[in-house]
Amino acid sequence: MGDKPLWEQIGSSFVQHYYQLFDADRTQLGSIYIDASCLTWEGQQFQGKAAIVEKLSSLPFQKIQHSITAQDHQPTPDSCILSMVVGQLKADDDQVLGFQQTFLLKNIQGAWVCTNEVFRLALHNV
């Protein structure tokens, strides 16, 4: 991983950490957010660490497993990292569904946190 640009290393590490936490115990995700963080989950808006963790913790499934198909990371002009993830998830005994998720990461006092996040299932209800 040492030959990848630093923003790709940080972005990839964050993505791995996020989905490990989400799949194991999503109530522990609070450590990656700050009080100013924003989440858009399937069109619903949440702001603040507490509101985001409450939303993620209350999702209506007992177990989930994410499989990452692709991820892309870019540095932003203000020293943040934009990360886009595409993959599949399986919740409880439901069918496998595709999803897209975008994160904006910012280094605050030496720690990378998620300031903005957008999640959508890849459903085509035409």
Share of residues in the chain with pLDDT > 70 (%): 96
Q: For strand 33-41 and strand 111-121, is the pairing parallel, antiparallel, or unpaired?
A: parallel
Q: What is the pTM of this model?
A: 0.93
Task: Give domain limits for the chain.
Answer: 6-121
The Cα–Cα gap between 52 and 67 comes to 22
Task: pLDDT band for 26, please (50, 70, 90 cuts).
Answer: very high
| Close Cβ partners of 101 (under 8 Å, ≥ 6 residues apart) | 84, 85, 87, 117, 118, 119, 120
3.40.50.1100, 3.90.1010.10, 3.30.470.20, 3.10.450.50: which CATH number matches 6-121? Answer: 3.10.450.50
Q: What is the pLDDT of residues 54-106, one digit of tens each?
A: 999 999 999 999 999 999 999 999 999 999 999 999 999 999 999 999 999 99
State the pLDDT at residue 3: 85
